[in-house]
Structure 1
Amino acid sequence: MANSIQELLIEKTVEAVNALYGSEIPVSQLALQETRKEFEGQLTIVVFPVTRFSKKSPEVTGTEIGAYLKSQIKEIEAFNVIKGFLNLSFTDVYWIEQLNSQILDPQFAQFPKNGKKVMVEYSSPNTNKPLHLGHVRNNLLGFSVAEILNAAGFEVIKANLVNDRGIHICKSMLAWQKFGEGRTPESTGIKGDHLVGEYYVVFDKEYKKEIDALKAEGQTEEEAKKNAPLIKEAQAMLQQWEAGNEEVISLWKTMNAWVYAGFDETYKQLGVAFDKFYYESDTYLLGKDIIQEGLDKGVFFKKEDNSVWIDLTEEGLDEKLVLRGDGTSVYITQDLGTAQLKYDEFQMDESIYVVGNEQDYHFKVLFAILKKLGKDWAEGLFHLSYGMVDLPHGKMKSREGTVVDADELMQEMFDTAKQRTEELGKTEGLAEEEKANLYHTLGQGALKYFLLKVDPKKRLLFNPAETVDFQGHTGPFIQYTHARIKSVLRKADYVATAAKVTPAAISSYERDLIQTLANYPAIIEAAAKEFSPAQIANFVYEVAKLYNKFYHEESILKAEQEEVKQFRLHLSAAAAKVISNAMNLLGIQVPERM
């Protein structure tokens, strides 16, 4: 694709070392990078590794290599050497051809299927409360990684493992049973996940009252927590659920259905989707066969109380319980079973778990166990760990008072986008429905771009007001740039054609934009390899910046020559296409007009 000149440069540099110094330099020792902005040139070869063959100074070596390359590669126009860096400049003809033959090709940055299958598991909500800000980062990260892998040629399965059982679910169910007075999403007009979440909070409040009462009677806090009637009832309800009690199962299904309807609305607003749902209620008993398999292989061992363990001290971990003495599962048990279930169903080459960094140790243990069990597919398992998201003090507290609700956050983003857009007068001539769509697009773009532009491992401080800015490193700046380009193309009545336009020369602004656009396929490959939406986000920001420089420095619609005008329109259209495509990989829409 766009890497052919880089490959040619490496090949000819190896040839140059042989011709000039009679030595073979390994390709792995040659480094090629984009020329730093303060120097003349577009690509730079680091010549320090060559000096051990040339036995000359870096400057002399660079000059000799540069002269050889210029004689061999017609696209090189000039070169200069700064210390040990050989900076190469390419002809205008080369860059014009890059646009005409590569970037404007309908197949540009489209990868054929590579025959590999990847599962990306993300979201993993609990059905006792609504999605919160942490889930937002999780969903956006997982969805974007899946889109990037798909663009890079992988077959992708987007999976969601729903935590729909356990004591926390029973707490919401019991509180609704006791205090709900038959309220439903329909009778209250409250979104189902929010309604159920309210009763999780109610349980906590009532439970604390009971604990305080028992402590007043002389019990210790620990005793009171165990003896409070509510927690005993919740535990009994969980046992009834596991025993298949019809009344409990019926209530569980009803309340879960409310939650799923609420989740669906939130997912739709966020613009994320899934191909496969797994439910903990179906998987919580899995894994016991694997424990037996591990015992048979001597991977696990039993203690006197009949509990089953694995010793992972050689892996730098510790001893880990994998089955209780009474034969009941722990969390790792079902995770082992679910991992096997997923592989049996899809035989994927890689499986990516998008889960917060508080689970780092858990996944090290899970992957280590599967490898010790001899599961060859365990080599393809990866934990995409991400940091928490904080907000400025007092911002958008949720009903719980501790976490930020996803729906409230998205509404806040919509309102902020509306306020900022109207302040700047960017909605003239738009109908009310168009305005609402624009505010949604900008609000979502601001939220998603902010959460995806940084390395997932970093903890984030998120302030909605700072994200909706039409200048700076933000989603709306990139969205506005796309709308600006589309406006230029509309004014020119631009129609894409296969006809090539070759002006006599191009400016440095055009060249820089073409060079960056040409990197797009390599950026997709790198982002897919690293599971990193941040690489796409920072690339598309660079494209938007360079386009705006070009737009301000070069006349497009009033260019002196028609072929220059057409060339600049082609370049504008290419930039818009790449911006739109890259933003889509982040799950972000770009407006056609503003």
Structure 2
Amino acid sequence: MELITNAVAKAVKELYDADIAAKDINLQETRREFEGQVTVVTFPYTKMSRKSPEQTGGEIGEYLQRNVEEIASFNIIKGFLNLSFTDDFWLSKLDKEVLAEDFATVVPNGRKVMVEYSSPNTNKPLHLGHIRNNLLGYSVAKILEAAGYTVIKANLVNDRGIHICKSMLAWQKFGNGETPETSGLKGDHLAGKYYVLFDKAYKQEIDQLKAAGQTEDDAKKNAPLIKEAQQMLQKWEAGDAEVINLWNTMNGWVYAGFDETYKTLGVDFDKYYYESNTYLLGKDIIEEGLSKGVFFKKEDGSVWIDLTDDGLDQKLVLRADGTSVYITQDIGTAQLKYDDFGVDESIYVVGNEQDYHFKVLFLILQKLGKTWANGLYHLSYGMVDLPSGKMKSREGTVVDADDLMQDMFNTAAEQTEAMGKVVDFSEEDKTKLYRTIGLGALKYFLLKVDPKKRLLFDPAESVDFQGHTGPFIQYTHARIRSVLSKAGYNEAAGSASVTTLEGVERDLIVTLTKFPETILAAAADHSPALIANYVYDVAKTYNKFYHEVSIMQADTENLKQFRLSLSAGTAKVINKAMALLGIEVPERM
């Protein structure tokens, strides 16, 4: 807070004849168990004062109280100077900042960032892990946008490779011409069905070969199905018309299915990239790196980079037969993304099992002299587990995204109806509300945890209306809208003037004023969890306010209007904060 840092710098100069830059002064939020809103750490100034931290804090505190009209009082706990601001200060903050139409709106910073997320494979539907990925990517994009960046939301679709051919081959062998229309299945579910069927048939062939005396490794290589899949991939890369036609048909089914899931989940993209278009792009850059001595060629003709001096290992970037490996494609795609948009930063939202891959990728691009490589960032996140255990796509044990969302809608319906709050809702309004609550519960539960942490998703816990959950925050917003509606509150009229604040009113205003700084912190950390936990704090503080003071039966009309304004400001912050998480808040529930 500039007001305090400048004042402390003046205090140190006048009291101890020492110069200190305002930017070097350490301010902290006062801990909840102590009185005050801002804490000055006084230990750094004891050398200048030649006194104890407590004495130093006392002298600085007295100076601030004398010279800064916004300071009401102070207290000292060991070497920490806790400052309390006047009620006038907080009332001004409410009127001029929180209730202003442009609150928490920042001026564009002129920087451009791409957030790449989702990155699905076209051989199976999206699952719970993809949901965390999509929600993280979308929310980080919204937060960066709110922090002043121009944001491009991108999706790199993994639409080629042996895993895609497995689904295609199984459909050829076992499908009997089945389509999404004839089967009643979404296209992505249909492709996933044949991916699982391939794996089952493949395992049977392996078992037969092992029974005939082959080792497991040999059986995996010699099974007829895997050989056919490899041949299909070779035909695809050679442009075989029949294979390409099947690939286009099945991918078309999958894309239609993905679009439906994305729409339900509430995420979108500005740009799609496809591996089928990008997998060869890195070859020219590899040749360029060879000529510069960044890479070296082995006797068999394969191309490598030696990263042992950087604490990594040697990495293959081009096979002996001249074909690309995964990192070759990523090198080319990174260049393409920069060429397309000239971004200052490029964020990859990818699970932490790829941590090493991205260390290598970014290091290679830096060694190639790509100036934009310093703006690359891997938003690494932990896996999502369920009480039932780990998911495996090949075995068909994944938690399907569509099924999970439907389960969340059903759970929200059960919980809401049990509370008896929707008796006057139309069926259409009920359906909309249950979807809003169900998605809010799912999104909030997955986003409130630091992205780097692995988490256990409990669907039942996520829909608790009283816990640290999305529905609790949504219900708080609906409660506020109900109060404002019953009071006939006119937001355009602004807040009425009061001169003193109850402690809980002050606490709520203090919490609301932290929204802009929370957005900037969440953008800097690429962490929606900071927003999620902040908005929970807002909801919790509002509910304390709601229960401790009377709004409708306030002692005076002025006080009533003030509390209504404070409520309206709270609803606005909850709405904006939840929107940054991709979560809607209902007007009533």
1:222 counterpart = 2:217: yes
- d(CA) in 1 for partners of 2:444, 2:377: 24
Give the one of 320, 323, 336 matched to 2:315: 320
RMSD: 1.3
1:570 counterpart = 2:575: no
1:250 counterpart = 2:230: no
387-396 or 63-72, which deviates more: 387-396
Identify unmatched segments of 5+ residues in structure 1: 1-5
Q: Give the TM-score taking structure 1 as reference length.
A: 0.97
Give the one of 101, 104, 120 matched to 1:125: 120
SS in structure 1 opposite 2:554?
coil
SS in structure 2 opposite 1:497?
helix
Residues 351-392 of structure 1: per-residue CA shift (max 9 Å, x gap)? 000000000000000000000000000000000000000000
Q: Give the AA of the match of 2:387.
A: P
Give the one of 38, 45, 54 matched to 1:43: 38
Is 1:121–1:161's contact at 8 Å kept on the other side of the alignment?
Answer: yes
Partner of 2:339: 344
1:506 counterpart = 2:516: no
- d(CA) in 2 for partners of 1:429, 1:190: 35
Residues 462-520 of structure 1: per-residue CA shift (max 9 Å, x gap)? 11001101112110000000000000000011111254522121111111110111111
Partner of 1:240: 235
Distance change >3 Å, CA 398–CA 207, structure 1 → 2:
closer
Q: Give the AA of the match of 1:484.
A: R
Residue 394 of structure 1 deviates from its aligned partner by 6.9
193-202 or 391-400, which deviates more: 391-400
Is 2:139–2:582's contact at 8 Å kept on the other side of the alignment?
Answer: yes
Distance change >3 Å, CA 398–CA 233, structure 1 → 2:
closer
Give the one of 528, 531, 537 matched to 1:536: 531
Residues 180-209 of structure 1: per-residue CA shift (max 9 Å, x gap)? 001100011111100110000111111111
State the aligned residue count. 589
- d(CA) in 1 for partners of 2:423, 2:392: 34
Q: Give the AA of the match of 2:46.
A: T
Partner of 2:381: 386
1:58 counterpart = 2:53: yes
SS in structure 2 opposite 1:33?
strand
- d(CA) in 1 for partners of 2:231, 2:40: 70
- d(CA) in 1 for partners of 2:28, 2:347: 30
Residues 410-457 of structure 1: per-residue CA shift (max 9 Å, x gap)? 111111111111111121211111111111111111110010001101
- d(CA) in 2 for partners of 1:426, 1:267: 30
Q: Give the AA of the match of 2:36.
A: G
Distance change >3 Å, CA 537–CA 13, structure 1 → 2:
same
Give the one of 406, 420, 428 matched to 2:415: 420
Partner of 1:211: 206
Give the one of 359, 366, 372 matched to 1:377: 372
Residue 81 of structure 1 deviates from its aligned partner by 1.4
Partner of 1:157: 152
1:545 counterpart = 2:533: no
Give the one of 404, 410, 420 matched to 1:409: 404
Partner of 1:433: 428
338-347 or 82-91, which deviates more: 82-91
Residue 576 of structure 1 deviates from its aligned partner by 0.2
Q: Give the AA of the match of 2:289.
A: G
Q: Give the AA of the match of 2:486.
A: K
492-501 or 356-365, which deviates more: 492-501
- d(CA) in 2 for partners of 1:180, 1:497: 63
Q: Give the AA of the match of 2:4.
A: L
Pairing 1:446-457 to 2, within 5 Å after superposition = 446-457=441-452
SS in structure 1 opposite 2:491?
coil
Residue 94 of structure 1 deviates from its aligned partner by 1.0
78-87 or 298-307, which deviates more: 78-87
382-391 or 20-29, which deviates more: 20-29
Is 1:25–1:50's contact at 8 Å kept on the other side of the alignment?
Answer: no
Is 2:491–2:565's contact at 8 Å kept on the other side of the alignment?
Answer: yes
SS in structure 2 opposite 1:327?
coil
Partner of 2:270: 275
Residue 217 of structure 1 deviates from its aligned partner by 2.1
Is 2:99–2:494's contact at 8 Å kept on the other side of the alignment?
Answer: no
Q: Give the AA of the match of 2:241.
A: E
Partner of 2:186: 191
Q: Give the AA of the match of 2:503.
A: S
Partner of 2:583: 588
Distance change >3 Å, CA 499–CA 128, structure 1 → 2:
closer
Residues 228-256 of structure 1: per-residue CA shift (max 9 Å, x gap)? 11111111111111111111111100000
- d(CA) in 1 for partners of 2:342, 2:258: 29
- d(CA) in 2 for partners of 1:92, 1:334: 59
1:516 counterpart = 2:511: yes
Identify unmatched segments of 5+ residues in structure 2: none
Is 1:158–1:274's contact at 8 Å kept on the other side of the alignment?
Answer: yes
Partner of 1:3: none
- d(CA) in 1 for partners of 2:61, 2:480: 38
Partner of 2:66: 71
Q: Give the TM-score taking structure 2 as reference length.
A: 0.98
Pairing 1:133-172 to 2, within 5 Å after superposition = 133-172=128-167
Is 2:462–2:469's contact at 8 Å kept on the other side of the alignment?
Answer: yes
Pairing 1:284-363 to 2, within 5 Å after superposition = 284-363=279-358
Q: Give the AA of the match of 1:42.
A: Q
Is 2:131–2:401's contact at 8 Å kept on the other side of the alignment?
Answer: yes
Partner of 2:13: 18
Is 1:287–1:333's contact at 8 Å kept on the other side of the alignment?
Answer: yes
SS in structure 1 opposite 2:492?
coil
Q: Give the AA of the match of 2:586.
A: P
Q: Give the AA of the match of 2:277.
A: D
Q: Give the AA of the match of 1:333.
A: T
Q: Give the AA of the match of 1:53.
A: M
Pairing 1:81-120 to 2, within 5 Å after superposition = 81-120=76-115
Q: Give the AA of the match of 2:143.
A: I
433-442 or 386-395, which deviates more: 386-395
- d(CA) in 1 for partners of 2:555, 2:179: 68
- d(CA) in 2 for partners of 1:387, 1:532: 13
SS in structure 1 opposite 2:378?
strand
Partner of 1:484: 479
- d(CA) in 2 for partners of 1:266, 1:212: 37
Q: Give the AA of the match of 2:336.
A: L
- d(CA) in 1 for partners of 2:154, 2:270: 6
